[in-house]
Amino acid sequence: MPNKRVKKQGGKAADDSTRRDRAEVLYDGECAMCSNLALRINETDAVDSLATNDLRHARLPQGVTAEAVTRELHVIEADGRITRGADAVLRILEEYPRWRWLARIGSSRAAKPFTAMGYRFVATNRDHIFGPGARLFWSKEILLVALLAAIATAPMLWVSKRAYPVVPVLTVLPVLLEIIALAVMTFGAAAALVLPKPRGALALLLGGAVVLALGDQTRWQPWFYQYTIMLSVLTAWSWRPNDLKASLEPLAALRVVMIGLYAWSGIQKLNATYLSGTFGWLVEPLGALLPATWVESLSVLGAASPAAEIAIAVGLLFPATRPWATAAAVALHAFILAMLGPWAHNWNSIVWPWNGAMIALVVVLFASDRDTRPAAILGTPISVGRAVAIAAFIVLPALSLVDRWDPYLSSSLYSRNLRHAAIRLRSDARQALPADLQPYADDEDVLWPMTWALDALNVPAYPAVRVYKGLARAVCRQLPDPTGLILGISSKPEILTGEFTVTDYHCEDLQ
């Protein structure tokens, strides 16, 4: 660590001898990021070779305008040479032995375009990154990157020309409209990543998302629901970077979403089907690293995982327990990512970016906050945005327990507390399937929507009766003899026993 110095140069113009002896760092004193950089320079050995000078008190050299310094950092050498922007930051890094390697890499021909883009991004968004709305800004960045990753990970989910049928809310949308909606959603997400005033881009994103959601209910994946609600909250925010009071409500709304997710994810897992084996399957890859008895012990401990998730939700509410709950949430998602990732089960890759996003979100939204009380998150009075978050992630999921709200909108992924379906075919009906459906029927002539969706779209099937019926209805229309198909839909497993019943439907029942 460089020794701290008492020397201070920022805040008043450097004299002529200072200009000759040291390079001058010209910065905008109204920029918190720039002022913090100047403070760090003045407190380290770099002050021996760099003199910081606040634009508001500086005598600007010829050719340098106040507007230019406001836009980007300037370093003026003793011989009059000037570096600006990213190059100025790299010049400053050269004065720190531990960071010279980074300055060399950043100055290389290959890296220069990226350092310039990085500087422009930070400079453009500096008031958000270092202002009262920093948690909201970084939440936006995380959500948008996660959404773009999901679009790339499951490309067939967003188109209707595919083997897995679409199940629209009302009617099948024109292909061109879906393509436009996907383009609008993707463009809006990419634009909102970099714009300092992203409300218009976020509104475009949400408009495209609504159209796509109307076009196919399979797109109502838990992560898609979460991202769109949270981005809706951020769209409603004014994006005034220095308005601390205005940032408190959207911040509380985002925290409500996270707390509701953990609480209901734990509650949904409180059933015999999950407790009897799901966690045991999850930890199977550890058998290659640990003794079998250890893995068996971990499987038994899976019974505590629902309580752990509920405890995380409660812990995030209270200042005293928030650091522990944040750490536990990070560990939980890191463990899930390790078990589902390519080095273990290599399963359901669409949730890999979601787990990464949850790690980042819980840190950004809750870490280092020892002041916010539960009443500020769940109490009144509340804004419209927070009311929506409370309804969507706290209240409505309770209806899923009595089958009046969809489980995927109630944090029920991997809970086993779901209805399942099987589309059973006679052998002649199997042979009559179109060529694009043939690979998805198993050796017993069954189309399982869950594995069918995973194979065709890289997402699980949406576990709702109406969606299962819609899938079977689409298959019925493609069979010369529809009597060769039977759709079986299970009830939700009994909480205490795991028992369920199956109801059969023929094609004529689905019209």
- Whole-angstrom Cα distance, residue 232 to residue 458? 26
| SS3 of residue 24 by DSSP | strand
- Whole-angstrom Cα distance, residue 359 to residue 356? 5
Query: What's the Cα-to-Cα distance from 394 to each of 196, 249, 315, 390, 400, rounded to whole Å?
Result: 31, 17, 16, 5, 11
Q: What are the pLDDT tens digits along the chain (511 aa)?
A: 444 444 444 444 444 434 457 899 998 888 888 888 889 899 988 888 999 988 888 888 888 888 988 888 999 988 888 999 999 899 999 989 899 999 899 999 999 899 999 988 988 888 888 878 899 999 999 999 999 999 999 999 999 989 999 999 999 999 999 999 999 999 999 999 999 899 999 999 999 999 999 999 999 999 999 999 999 999 999 998 778 888 899 999 999 999 999 999 999 999 988 887 777 788 888 887 778 777 777 777 777 889 999 999 999 999 999 999 999 999 999 999 999 999 899 989 999 999 999 999 999 999 999 999 999 999 988 899 999 999 999 999 999 999 999 999 999 988 888 999 999 999 999 999 999 999 999 999 999 999 999 999 999 999 999 999 999 999 999 999 999 999 999 999 999 898 999 999 999 999 7
Q: Which letter does DSSP use for residue 274 in this model? A: I
- The two tokens of residue 403 are 């089958």
- Whole-angstrom Cα distance, residue 401 to residue 397? 8
343-388 pLDDT, tens digit per residue, is: 899 989 999 999 999 999 999 999 999 999 999 999 988 899 999 9
Query: What pLDDT score does 164 carry?
Result: 96
- The two tokens of residue 76 are 């003026």
Nearest alpha carbon to residue 147 among 227, 210, 205, 212: 227
The dihedral formed by the CA atoms of 344, 349, 351 and 355, expressed in degrees to the nearest 10: 50
Look at the domain 16-124 and name its fold. Answer: Glutaredoxin (3.40.30)
CB count in 10 Å sphere of residue 368: 11
What is the crossing angle of helices 175-194 and 199-215, to 10°?
A: 150
What is the crossing angle of helices 305-317 and 322-340, to 10°?
A: 140
**DSSP letters for 314-356:** HHHHSTTTHHHHHHHHHHHHHHHHHHHSTTTT---TTHHHHHH
Domain boundaries, the chain: 16-124, 134-409, 421-509
107: Cβ contacts below 8 Å, ≥ 6 apart: 87, 90, 115
User: Which residues pair with residue 74 across a beta bridge?
Assistant: 26, 84
SS3 content of the chain, % helix, strand, coil (to 5): 60, 5, 30
Residue reference for tokens 């009559």: 432
User: Which residues pair with residue 447 across a beta bridge?
Assistant: 423
- Whole-angstrom Cα distance, residue 20 to residue 24? 9
Query: What's the Cα-to-Cα distance from 201 to each of 190, 234, 380, rounded to whole Å?
Result: 8, 11, 31
120-134 pLDDT, tens digit per residue, is: 898 888 888 887 889
232: Cβ contacts below 8 Å, ≥ 6 apart: 206, 385, 388
- Whole-angstrom Cα distance, residue 269 to residue 509? 33
Query: What pLDDT score does 12 carry?
Result: 40
- Whole-angstrom Cα distance, residue 233 to residue 252? 10
User: Which residues pair with residue 423 across a beta bridge?
Assistant: 447, 487
Residue reference for tokens 């531990």: 98
